[in-house]
Structure 1
Amino acid sequence: MSAMSAETHDDVIALMPARRGHFLLESGHHGELWLDLELLCLAPDPVRRLAARLAARLAPYAIEAVCGPLVEGAFVAMMVASELGVPFAYSERFPNPERGGLFAVDYRVPRALRAEVRGRRVAIVNDVINAGSAVRGTLTDLEACAARPVAIGALLVLGSSASRIAADRSIALETLASLPNNIWTPGECPMCGRGLPLASGLGPDPIGEP
């Protein structure tokens, strides 16, 4: 992974409004940090500049297509694809409650786009990677499409999950900023142990007792 500049790191963090609390993440983990990523859409120009910097980091991997998970990750991925001059694809989220436990969601590339990524060297680009459910799901489906994932890119990486995903798949990881962050399984969550109510992050109300 390339070295990160302090200026770029600060530019990324400035676009990511954060809240502290006890949150249920998409992966099923519990976390203490929630980023209101929908607000990225309000500032396309600074996001585009950051996407150009991320594209420059991904360029050495001879990327032939970029794929991003909906919603905000796909917006960033499209900007990166435009900078690299390569095709863009996206993956859609599908809950899979039958799987149960952690990562009970799938991400699938639409049928019309699957042939367009087949055989190509693909970068998976997201806005932020935390537990990594969107990137994991997108990677798995790209492999099912017979694409060749070669790199993961993100504006911001929280914690160590992204590094583990990249290492497990033997692919590169490039990010503009990183922050330490804690996530826990429900059974290990210290905030549940203290009886703090659990929220989805999408609103102020608890979604259930821990």
Structure 2
Amino acid sequence: MTTDELVLNELKETGALLQGHFLLSSGRHSDRYVQCARLLQYPDRAARVLAVAAEQFRPVPFDLIVGPAMGGIIVAYELARQLGKPGIFVERENSVMSLRRGFAIAEGTRCIISEDVVTTGKSSEETAKVIRECGGEVVGIACIVNRSAELIQYPVWSAVRLTIETWPADDCPLCKQGIPWVKPGSRGNA
């Protein structure tokens, strides 16, 4: 079994790879959605999947893993556990990502950003801004699923890469069929 097959199998068996009609946080529509929280509820499965991503950047020198809340918190913890490094998270305060809870990033700290899914890179870039403002350096991004079609300015190490088609709301074939959409995820209603 290839690593892609292993990861896809875990996503499907945990119900993390959803089929349906989804309104994404970008406003676009899709017929598939990845809800990694369903995978992350199983520590043994999450460990197997994240080991695939961890192996890709194991030889890269870094000091700290930083995950954006919510999706990056458990990912940061598990990657840090596997690699023997500290893992922290940033969270929104007044709609702006910031370090709280006594977390700090010292000047010169080489950081890897952890995510569950990378799509547009928005949360990663907000996290990178916090790291840079502290004087840290972003080495790359580690995630479970890379579904980014856009240019991300850092290396991305993922357990699997998925191409999921999306459509503008006014040109969605599922809307034209009268199929109701749901808005999943941390920025949605589910």
Q: TM-score, normalised by structure 2?
A: 0.78
Partner Cα separation in structure 1 for residue 69 and residue 146 of structure 2: 17
Residue identity matched to 1:85 = G
Partner Cα separation in structure 2 for residue 107 and residue 75 of structure 1: 17
Counterpart residue number, 2:70 = 71
RMSD between aligned residues: 2.7
Q: How many residues align?
A: 182
Counterpart residue number, 1:14 = 9
Residue identity matched to 1:64 = D
Residue identity matched to 1:49 = R
Counterpart residue number, 1:55 = 54
**Structure whose residues are more often helix by fraction:** 1
Residue identity matched to 1:181 = I
Counterpart residue number, 1:147 = 136
Q: CA deviation at 1:153?
A: 1.0
Structure 1 pair 141/192, CA: closer, same or farther in 2 (3 Å)?
farther
Structure 1 pair 61/91, CA: closer, same or farther in 2 (3 Å)?
same
Query: Is 1:160 paired with 2:152?
Result: no
Counterpart residue number, 1:123 = 112
Partner Cα separation in structure 1 for residue 94 and residue 122 of structure 2: 11
Structure 1 pair 31/140, CA: closer, same or farther in 2 (3 Å)?
farther
Q: CA deviation at 1:201?
A: 2.5
Q: CA deviation at 1:95?
A: 7.9
Residue identity matched to 2:4 = H
Q: SS where residue 114 of structure 2 aligns?
A: strand
Counterpart residue number, 2:40 = 41
Q: CA deviation at 1:41?
A: 3.1
Q: CA deviation at 1:176?
A: 2.0
Residue identity matched to 1:43 = Y
Partner Cα separation in structure 2 for residue 68 and residue 28 of structure 1: 24
Structure 1 pair 191/132, CA: closer, same or farther in 2 (3 Å)?
farther
Residue identity matched to 1:37 = C
Partner Cα separation in structure 2 for residue 117 and residue 192 of structure 1: 49
Gaps of at least 5 residues in structure 2 are: none
